[in-house]
Amino acid sequence: MSLSEFAQDQWFAACPKGLESLLAAELAALGASGTRETVAGVYFTGPVALAYRACLWSRLANRVLLPVARLEAADSDTLYRQLKTVDWAALFGPGQSFSIDFSGENREIRNTQFGAQRSKDAIVDWFTEKLGQRPPVARKDPDIRLNVRLSGEQAVLSLDFSGGSLHQRGYRLAGGAAPLKENLAAAILLRADWPGIAARGGALVDPMCGSGTLLLEAAMMAADIAPGLGRRRFGFEHWRGHNEPQWRAILADARGRAERGKARTLPEIRGYDADPRIIRTAEENIARIGLEKVVRVSARPLAELTRPTHVPMPLGLLVCNPPYGERLGEKENLRPLYHQLGEVMVREFRGWTAAVFTSDLDLGRAIGLRSHKRYAFWNGALAAHLLLFDLVDNELRPLPEQAAAESAAPPGAPGELSAGATMFANRVRKNRKRLSAWLRREQIQCYRLYDADMPEYAVAVDIYGERACVAEYQAPQGVDPAAAARRLQEVQAALPGALGLAADAIVYKQRRRQRGTAQYEKQDSRGELVSVTEGPARLLVNLQDYLDTGLFLDHRPLRRRLGAEAAGRDFLNLFCYTGSATVHAALGGARSTTSVDLSNTYLAWLRKNLVHNGLDEVDNRLVRANCLEWLHQADGSYDLVLLDPPSFSNSTAMTETFDIQRDHPELVRSAMKVLRPGGQLYFSNNRRGFKLEPALLEQFLCEDISRSTLDPDFQRNPKIHCCWSIRHREQG
């Protein structure tokens, strides 16, 4: 098949949902014709030079694709045969690396990883048969990135001109707790008419600026800086149809415009945040793009914010992306923050325009001001809204008295507690004080605060940011059930005051002796996922629906170790659960990750964790399989392996039961077969009294590292898990 299925001037620009009309207008301004909007993208027409400009200048697109062929794809074999009819040499040579982004499913191709694998096989086989050379497949930084989009029994093959998402401008190496993607920030500013406000001499203030994304996007617009100038490379640079002189001319023009733009008198752009650490990150991002003279940030809490007075600022835009419940905790706890934002808006910024981006309209209403316009956006998979406010004549409404009363006085004042409950509350406070320096130093948000320290109060208290999860241990036989119930009531009375949390921010469960998959079975069906931070990772936990939350706190040091050792290595996570270790490894720079688990529920949870951290499934493979069976058939090898199986399982998806003490020798040996020479296997489990088979000690280099994988919050209970470092003997 020659590459004439599509005309060379037909293109597709992908974008987040909700941005299609903005993107169509932007492309038209760049010279596109025939724009046609579809869900999450725009088709357009124009020469190759236009595609170059779109990659360099689009503030809204994720990718610019050149469709090159339409393929029959009723099943994987048909897709394979169709791809082998493509004249691949017209796109790239066998010495260039490539990767494939595959999207969509049908009745026969039910897995995007499988579709990508079959597509890769077809391309490699074509080059081998036609040219006698096999092009390398590169998951990271390929020379050529291909896109196969499956819809029904048809697929469209495209060349990714951008070579990676265009939202990555190059100025941000780190973000805050919930960073806003750059193209979404640009869309917020365009909907708020920032270019028009800036042209009229207006200023911009972000009172909760985080890592500075809104500030920098605003400055780049005002200074006429192309958003793609900071990118290291584009996907079209290794395409055989690439016109290098034309690209160099477009690039030189953009650089000249940026220099002239920086030399102009630019608007006042200011950012503030209560967290000095985040402000330091923002300053690094600002310096990386060379806009220190334009964008200024400082640490200041919202309550202390005032309009800058060094120059008159009668006109301007106040814009922010405040925290919302799905991201940083309980929604009710954030209502006062939003109302405080409304107070600041009317007190300090009368006459301005304000734009507030939130996923929760109830929180938006808590601002207490009337919005005159609302736009729907999607922040990843999360529905979100942009609220616009005219602050010329907008009166603040108070919060409902009931919410104000709830936020004014925490429940559980010490005078109301029994003597036993008072002792329990004091122990909780003592533990928090003991751990406080470590928590600040290590920036730990999720930890175990109390673990049956007082035997009569047999509960575990785990902190998850602004929430707490309390697990009541099953009382031994002979303990009066009424007494146990009374003590739990005392715990419930004492904890809100001891923790400084509202009562409804604390979840209670009963931890019984578990068999099989009981700990993974649903206890509730709320489906509420809360975002928490652990080092560089942002992880989603479910505090209500399961006995376990999706994050095993005792394995925190091991996840930290994996993240530190993962750079440039292929990582395998067996019995991956919700994939928190996978996220740490990927953020630590792993070349690739492969996560294997039998549960669709937990693989879906892992998929959400990946998206939540800006990671895709191109480099992070998910496999649903019985780990032992998968290891017997595995054809790959890995530098770093985590083996963290359950103690016992009798899952209906398995033909036989699994017992870690009985079955671990075969499991460890199978995992070692896929471990490369010089590689590292970590084997962990929570079986009390577990003993490693002596023959494994003879066959491999095995070291018990259990003690070193316990942080201060678990050192009181050193038997919580055991962990082994295992390596091949020939490394001796």
CATH of the domain at 424: 3.30.750.80
Cβ of 108: how many Cβ atoms within 10 Å? 15
Task: Give CA separation, 468 vs 49, 465, 510, 554, 574, in Å.
Answer: 55, 8, 14, 16, 29
The tokens for 413 are 């004042």
Q: Is 273 domain-assigned? A: yes
- Using alpha carbons, select from 83, 97, 86 the residue that is nearest to residue 144: 97
**369 and 462, same structural domain?**
no
Q: Is 256 domain-assigned? A: no
Angle at 688 between CA 682 and CA 692, to 5 degrees: 45
- Using alpha carbons, select from 698, 717, 697 the residue that is nearest to residue 707: 717
**216 and 101, same structural domain?**
no
> What pLDDT is recorded for position 655?
57
Q: Is 235 domain-assigned? A: no
**629 and 593, same structural domain?**
yes
Q: Is 525 domain-assigned? A: no
DSSP string for 233-254: --GGGG-TT--HHHHHHHHHHH
What does the pLDDT look like over 469-511, one tens digit per residue? 999 987 665 556 777 788 889 999 999 999 999 998 999 987 6
Q: Is 250 domain-assigned? A: no
**206 and 92, same structural domain?**
no
Angle at 695 between CA 632 and CA 702, to 5 degrees: 85
Q: Is 505 domain-assigned? A: yes
Q: Which amino acid is at 624?
A: R
Q: What is the distance between the alpha carbons of residues 656 and 429, in angstroms, rounded to a whole number?
A: 47
**371 and 506, same structural domain?**
no
> What pLDDT is recorded for position 325?
57
**538 and 612, same structural domain?**
yes
Give the three-state DSSP class for 123: helix
**364 and 424, same structural domain?**
no
> What pLDDT is recorded for position 20?
96
Is the torsion defined by CA of 89, 92, 98, 100 positive or negative? Answer: negative
**688 and 540, same structural domain?**
yes
> What pLDDT is recorded for position 388?
97
> What pLDDT is recorded for position 565?
97
Q: What is the distance between the alpha carbons of residues 345 and 347, in angstroms, rounded to a whole number?
A: 6
Q: Which domain holds residue 297?
A: 182-226+263-405
Q: Is 217 in contact with 186 (CB distance < 8 Å)?
A: yes
* CATH number of the domain that residue 311 is part of: 3.40.50.150
Q: Is 247 domain-assigned? A: no
Which residues of the chain are modeled with pLDDT < 70? 1-8, 174-178, 325-333, 400-416, 475-480, 511-527, 650-655, 731-732
Q: Which residues contact 96 (CB under 8 A, 6 or more apart)?
A: 135, 143, 144, 238
User: Could you say which of 405, 438, 456 is where a domain stops?
Assistant: 405
**480 and 382, same structural domain?**
no
Task: Give CA separation, 487 vs 461, 483, 503, in Å.
Answer: 14, 6, 17
Total domain count for the chain?
4
Q: Is 520 domain-assigned? A: no
> What pLDDT is recorded for position 415?
46
Q: Is 571 in contact with 602 (CB distance < 8 Å)?
A: no
Strands 506-511 and 467-473: parallel
> What pLDDT is recorded for position 257?
97
**535 and 684, same structural domain?**
yes
User: Could you say which of 467, 483, 513 is where a domain stops?
Assistant: 513
Q: Which amino acid is at 281?
A: T
**202 and 104, same structural domain?**
no
Which helix or strand (DSSP H or E) is residue 556 part of? helix 556-565
User: Could you say which of 384, 405, 426 is where a domain stops?
Assistant: 405
**347 and 334, same structural domain?**
yes
